[in-house]
């Protein structure tokens, strides 16, 4: 089955073609970073309008690039949540309308399930079961994954997600949008030993996260200094080390508690090089194996949606004619595929 995947959950318009026999055929992505940069963050109404402007041309582009006609498509998968409701509705309306016009099935895909399954697109994919760390701008989750649709959330952020904390701290430091990657670049020139930020909730049982307090530590550290470029680099480095060490500690705990030997790390923050290095070292010390998606599939993309949708369509799942989108959608409500 050839599946068209559509992703419009936030500020990136993405489409992809995934074939159940040949694998990923092609994908396209349009980022709205430049559109939102002057506002210092995503403006939902602008995001929705830009998705509406870009989505159909991207679909035509990916089909033309592969020399395919729409009659070759056997199903459509689209992100139905969680995310910005207006942006989600654009993708859902286009996907459902095309499915109805082309008389093919469509399926709603959970955005975080897409991220979770992204490493399965790699040449050496992980086998089930595994522990998944999903770490992005809007979510930080540890999940016990027994199969597609069989998810048990072990822990989650009680306040800011890790990526959100990165972005907010970057804004405190006067960095541009998107803040997370800018902070990571700044941290490369910082002195890791100058400041020591706490590792939140690592001194108590459980697998939940809390990152909002680290912003306060960054703000207080900056207020006590002159705010030179080196001061900011040192604060960025201390902040990043605290977030990464916290994630590594909780992943180690999750692997030990579940007894599983595989860790999947996905989501936008999974592209962070410091985190990858430290998680790899932790996995080796625990005699486990860690899996990451390639960098282009860490951030939002259509390939992960097309792949997840293909698996669900092949299992017989499809949507009614209703157009639905969900700003919030707990992963544990998903069923198997």
| Rounded Cα gap, residues 158 and 165, in angstroms | 12
Question: Helix 162-172 crosses helix 212-223 at what angle (to 10 degrees)?
Answer: 20
74 is in an annotated binding site: no
256-269 confidence digits (pLDDT tens): 999 999 999 999 99
179 is in an annotated binding site: no
- Put the strands of the sheet holding 262-266 in their side by side order: 150-156, 140-147, 130-135, 262-266, 289-291
160 is in an annotated binding site: no
86 is in an annotated binding site: no
* Cβ 10 vs Cβ 44: under 8 Å: no
134 is in an annotated binding site: yes
User: What mean pLDDT is predicted for residues 297-310?
Assistant: 97
51 is in an annotated binding site: no
3-47 confidence digits (pLDDT tens): 999 999 999 999 999 999 999 999 999 999 999 998 989 999 999
238-286 confidence digits (pLDDT tens): 999 999 999 999 999 999 999 999 999 999 999 999 999 999 999 999 9
131 is in an annotated binding site: no
Give, for 266, the enclosing helix (H) or strand (E): strand 262-266
Average pLDDT over the chain, rounded to an integer: 96
249 is in an annotated binding site: no
135 is in an annotated binding site: yes
191 is in an annotated binding site: no
* Helix, strand, coil share (%) of the chain residues, nearest 5: 45, 20, 35
- Partners of 4 in the beta sheet? 17, 76
What structural domains and CATH numbers belong to the chain? Answer: 2-117+297-333 (3.30.420.40), 128-292 (3.30.420.40)
- The answer to whether the peptide bond before residue 310 is cis (omega within 30 degrees of 0) is no
pLDDT exceeds 80 at position 82: yes
As a whole-number percent, the residues of the chain with pLDDT over 70 amount to 100
301 is in an annotated binding site: no
* Cβ 58 vs Cβ 47: under 8 Å: no
The token duo for 199 is: 């590792």
């Amino acid at each position: 089955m050839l599946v068209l995947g559509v992703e419009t959950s936030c500020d990136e318009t993405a489409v992809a073609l995934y074939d159940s026999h040949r694998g990923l055929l092609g994908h396209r992505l349009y980022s709205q970073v430049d559109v939102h940069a002057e506002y210092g963050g995503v403006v939902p109404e602008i995001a929705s309008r830009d998705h509406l402007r870009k989505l159909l041309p991207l679909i035509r582009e990916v089909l033309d690039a592969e020399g395919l006609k729409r009659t070759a498509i056997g199903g459509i998968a689209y992100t139905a949540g969680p995310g910005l409701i207006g942006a989600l509705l654009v993708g859902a309306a286009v996907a459902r309308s095309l499915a109805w016009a082309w008389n093919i099935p469509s399926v709603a895909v959970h955005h975080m399930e897409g991220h979770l399954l992204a490493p399965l697109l790699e040449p050496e994919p992980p086998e089930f079961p595994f522990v998944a760390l999903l770490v992005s701008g809007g979510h930080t989750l540890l999940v016990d994954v027994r199969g597609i649709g069989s998810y048990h959330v072990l822990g989650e952020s009680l306040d800011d997600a890790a990526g959100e904390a990165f972005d907010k701290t970057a804004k405190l430091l006067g960095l541009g949008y998107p803040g997370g990657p800018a902070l990571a670049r700044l941290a490369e020139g910082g002195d890791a030993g100058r400041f020591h930020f706490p590792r939140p909730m690592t001194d108590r049982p459980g697998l939940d996260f809390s990152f909002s307090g680290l912003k306060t530590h960054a703000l207080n550290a900056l207020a006590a200094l002159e705010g030179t470029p080196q001061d900011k680099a040192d604060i960025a480095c201390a902040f990043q080390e605290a977030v990464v060490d916290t994630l590594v500690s909780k992943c180690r705990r999750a692997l030990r508690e579940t007894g599983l030997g595989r860790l999947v790390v996905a989501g936008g923050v999974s592209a962070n090089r410091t985190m990858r290095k430290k998680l790899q070292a932790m996995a080796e010390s625990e005699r486990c194996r860690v899996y990451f998606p390639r960098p282009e599939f860490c951030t939002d993309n259509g390939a992960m949606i097309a792949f997840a949708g293909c698996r669900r369509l092949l299992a017989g799942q499809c949507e009614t004619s209703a157009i639905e989108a969900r700003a919030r959608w707990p992963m544990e409500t998903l069923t198997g595929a």
